[in-house]
Amino acid sequence: MDAFWTEPDYDDHELVQLVRDPKRGLTAIIAVHSSHLGPGAGGTRVWHYGEPKDAMRDALRLSRGMSYKNAMAGLPMGGGKAVILADQDRNKTEAMLHAFAESVEALGGKYVTAADVGITEGDIVTMSAKTSYVSGLPLDNGSTAGGDPGPYTALGIYQGIKAAARHRLGKNSLDGVHIAIQGTGSVGSGVARLAAKDGARLTLADINQTGASALADELGGQAVVPDAILATECDVLSPNALGAILNDESIAALNTQIVAGGANNQLARSHHGEQLAERGILYAPDYVINAGGIISVAMEYLCRSEGTPCLIEDVEARIGQIPQRLEEIWTESGSSGLPSDVIADRMAQKLIGR
């Protein structure tokens, strides 16, 4: 068997830890990809994996992704991620979460955790009983930032869409710009509401069709069946549901000038960024445009560590840098002829000293 460190998803990760506590029902992997810019920060995912090696692959890929995302967001944080290998029903218990949190605590701050798929704000509170290296805790009042990252992620995406409309369509406002949104959950609905205020024309889709229709009615948009959204004729396609939705087939069917949305890992394979560019579609690299949530979570953590209040205006100011970062990527992409996802990766790698 090849050595672990020659595995394709292993990218000189600084720390990969397997945590087992059978009595408390925990098997987890914690991965820190890079601490070049600060402690490895990224959420914990609870997932049922077919094979343990799939969990390892997820931890390795996701933690590297967090290094890139945090670096491009200008945060003094490295990249980390944890996965808890759950049963088929993804059951969680307090004992399991405590065991996990104790293992995070034992790393002494090398890894800072937060919510990801399968972890609720309540779970974060449970973990906080055993570790201080956790963020995304409920807010005491409305005057400080932090808590649920969804609205901050949506804010960054909305601003990124405005930047894309300026760059590609020459428009200074979203008034009349047609945005097709896949997924009307926490992030997608937030993007829809912000864009509607600017007069954008909205087409929405979600597998929860009742929810998508209700939101479309509220905002004066239109709802379509989930299968129709990717090929909808629009100015901006905003994927806010699943990853890996941009593949050979879906890219060939796209009828948009811009793809700018919050779903993680939208490109099914690395060459799909090039395919988008060949079709003349402006792509906002997902981990750059969707960084609003981690900006909030990281700044909440840093403020708590320093004992200072985390001000909403400071978080919003950092999120306000997302459009500029995208503009730099697109400008460099235009002058070099390289796809925007490749440019973003190169910029991120430089920032983390790789």
The DSSP 8-state label assigned to residue 216 in this structure reads H
Using the minimum distance from each CB to ligand NAD, give the nearer residue, 70 or 240. Answer: 240
Using the minimum distance from each CB to ligand NAD, give the nearer residue, 99 or 205. Answer: 205
- Nearest approach in angstroms of CB 264 to ligand NAD is 4
What whole-number distance in Å separates Cα of residue 160 and Cα of residue 288? 9
- Nearest approach in angstroms of CB 8 to ligand NAD is 23
What whole-number distance in Å separates Cα of residue 81 and Cα of residue 110? 11
On whether the CB atoms of residues 259 and 282 are closer than 8 A, the answer is yes
CB-closest chain residue to ligand NAD: 185
Q: Transcribe 67-78 into DSSP letters.
A: HHHHHHTT-S-E
Using the minimum distance from each CB to ligand NAD, give the nearer residue, 52 or 243. Answer: 243
Using the minimum distance from each CB to ligand NAD, give the nearer residue, 101 or 223. Answer: 223
Using the minimum distance from each CB to ligand NAD, give the nearer residue, 226 or 320. Answer: 226
Using the minimum distance from each CB to ligand NAD, give the nearer residue, 26 or 77. Answer: 77
- Nearest approach in angstroms of CB 297 to ligand NAD is 8
From 23, 69, 81, 162, the catalytic residue: 81
Other CB atoms within 10 A of residue 352 CB:
19
Q: What angle do CA 223, 224, 228 make, to 5 degrees?
A: 150
Using the minimum distance from each CB to ligand NAD, give the nearer residue, 235 or 286. Answer: 286
Give the interface with ligand NAD as residue ranges (CB under 6 A).
149-150, 153, 182-188, 205-208, 226, 240-243, 262-264, 290, 293
- Nearest approach in angstroms of CB 350 to ligand NAD is 23
Q: Transcribe 225-284 into DSSP letters.
A: -GGGSTT-B-SEEEE-S-SS-B-HHHHHH-B-SEE----SS-BSSTTHHHHHHHTT-EE-
Catalytic residue check, 81: yes
What whole-number distance in Å separates Cα of residue 5 and Cα of residue 340? 29
- Nearest approach in angstroms of CB 24 to ligand NAD is 27
Terminal-to-terminal C-alpha distance of the chain: 27
Among the listed residues 117, 138, 116, the one whose alpha carbon sits nearest the alpha carbon of residue 126: 138
- Nearest approach in angstroms of CB 108 to ligand NAD is 27
What whole-number distance in Å separates Cα of residue 60 and Cα of residue 32? 8
- Nearest approach in angstroms of CB 228 to ligand NAD is 10
On whether the CB atoms of residues 136 and 146 are closer than 8 A, the answer is yes
Q: Transcribe 133-177 into DSSP letters.
A: SB--PPPSSTTB--S--HHHHHHHHHHHHHHHIIIII--SS-TT-
Q: Annotated active-site positions, please?
A: 81
